[in-house]
Amino acid sequence: MATSNGTMVDAPRWCKTDLGKRAWQVGATVAGAHAGEVDREGRFPAEATEAMRTSGLLGSMVPVALGGEGAGLAAISESIRAMASHCASSALVLAMHQIEVAYLIHHGETDALQDLLGRVATGSVLMANANSEVGLGGDVGRSLCGLEHRDGMVHLEKDVLALSYAAYADAITVNCRRDVEAAETDQVMLICGPGSFSVEPTGVWDTMGLRGTCSSGYRLVVDEREDMVLTDTWSTVVNRTGLAATAATLNSVWLGIAEAAAATAHASVRAEARRSIGTTPPSALRLAEMLVVLGQARAVLADTIAHIEAVGTGAAMEDDLSLVLEMRDLKLSMTTLSADVVLRALTVCGLSGYKRDSKFSVERNVRDVLGGQLMANNNRFYVDNAQLLTMVKRF
C-alpha cells in the first residue's frame, strides 16, 4: 500500500515477512493517520479495519486450501506488531480476530464451520469473542449461561463483561455451558455466524488507553445452528490452541507499542544531535539503555513463538507444562518490558514527549501500553504460575 502521493513506506529492519511489510503499509498509511482521532473519540478504527479486509490481513492465517495464505504464528505476530507501531487499537482488533480464526482452523470440523472459515479468507468476516461473563470476575473457566437445544438449533443469552468491537463484528465466539443442566465448568464454544446474534450494550468503554477497542459490556442473544458448536470441549480448545494463539498475538501488540515509542525517542535524539553538531546529546545515553530493554522484549517474544511452532498444536501443546509456563511468563515479561521501554522513551524525549501536541509525544503509547498488565490482570498469571511450578519438573 502506498501513501497519498503514491510512494511506499519503508518498513523497519525487524519487519521481514511479506505479511509484516503489508501490515506496516496499512499501519503507516491508514491506521496511523486515524489513530489520534480513534483515541480522542474512543471510536472503532473503521478505516484501518476496512484496509485490513481489503489487504488480506484478516484472512492471512486461513489455510491455502480454503483461500487464505496459511501464515504461521511468527508472520502473524510480525503483522500485529507492525500494526501496533501505528495504532494499538487497530492492532488489538487484528490480534483478537486472529485468535478466533485459530480456533476455527484447529477445531472447526463441521461443514458449516469450514464454510465460515472460507468466508474469513475473503476478508468479509471480522471475528470477536465473548468469553468473559458478568458475575464471574473474569474467570473464563466457568460459565453461568448454557445452551438451549431446539430442533437442530441452539439458543443462548449471555451477559458479557467485555465484548470488544461487538457492534462491528461479523461473527462472535462464545464459551458457555454445554446445556442449561451442565456444570459451570462443562463448557463448549459456540461460533455465532453472521446474522445469528444481536448485541445490546450494558456499559461504556471510557478508558485511559486502548480506547478504540470499544470493549463495553453487552447482552448477547444468539440463535444458531447446532453444527456451529465446536466438537472439542472449551478446555481442550484453550489448552491446545488458545494459550498459544493468545501468547503470540496479544504480546505482539505490547511490543509494537514499545517499538513506536522507541522510534519516537530515536527521532528525538537525532533531532537534538542535529542542533548540536559534533556533540553527543545527553539523551543518547538514555536511548542506548532503552535499546537494551527493547532487545530483551524482542528476544523473549521471538524465542517463545519459535518454541510454540516447534511443538505444534494438539495434545503435545496441552501436555507440555513447561511450555504453558513459558507462554504465561511471556505475558508477564512482555507487558513489563514494553512498559519499561515506553517510560524510558518518555525520559529520552523529555518535555517534548510529555506534551500532547509535540511531534515527539509518546502520551498515547504510555496510556496504551499500561493496559497490557490489566487485560488479563498480571496478578492472576502470577498465581497460576505459582501453582504450575509445583507440578513442572524443569523450566
CATH of domain 234-389: 1.20.140.10
The answer to whether 128 and 172 have CB atoms below 8 angstroms apart is yes
- Predicted TM-score (pTM) of the model is 0.96
DSSP helix/strand/coil, 283: helix
For residue 9, the model assigns a pLDDT of: 78
Distances in Å between the Cα of 19 and the Cα atoms of 26, 57, 61, 73 are 11, 8, 10, 11
18-126: CATH architecture:
Orthogonal Bundle (1.10)
For residue 122, the model assigns a pLDDT of: 97
The dihedrals phi and psi of 128, each to the nearest 5 degrees, come to -130, 175
Q: Quickly state the pLDDT bin for 165 (edges 50, 70, 90).
A: very high
In the sheet that holds 127-130, the strands lie side by side as: 127-130, 171-177, 187-192
Judge whether residue 138 has pLDDT over 90.
no
Q: Is the peptide bond before 376 cis (omega within 30 degrees of 0)?
A: yes
Q: Give start and end residues of each alpha helix (H) in 153-233.
A: none
DSSP helix/strand/coil, 365: helix
Amino acid at position 212, single letter: G
Rounded CA gap, 307 and 293, in Å? 21
**Domain 128-228 matches domain 234-389 at the CATH topology level:** no
Judge whether residue 1 has pLDDT over 60.
no
Question: Domain 128-228 class?
Answer: mainly beta
> Which of 24-28, 165-169, 311-315, 376-380 comes out lowest in average pLDDT?
311-315
Rounded CA gap, 125 and 171, in Å? 7
CA R_g for the chain:
21
The CA-CA-CA angle for residues 175, 178, 182, to 5°, reads 120
Mean pLDDT for all residues in the chain = 95
Return the percentage of the chain with pLDDT > 70, whole number. Answer: 98
For the chain, give every domain's residue range. 18-126, 128-228, 234-389
For residue 86, the model assigns a pLDDT of: 98
Average pLDDT over every residue of 58-62: 98
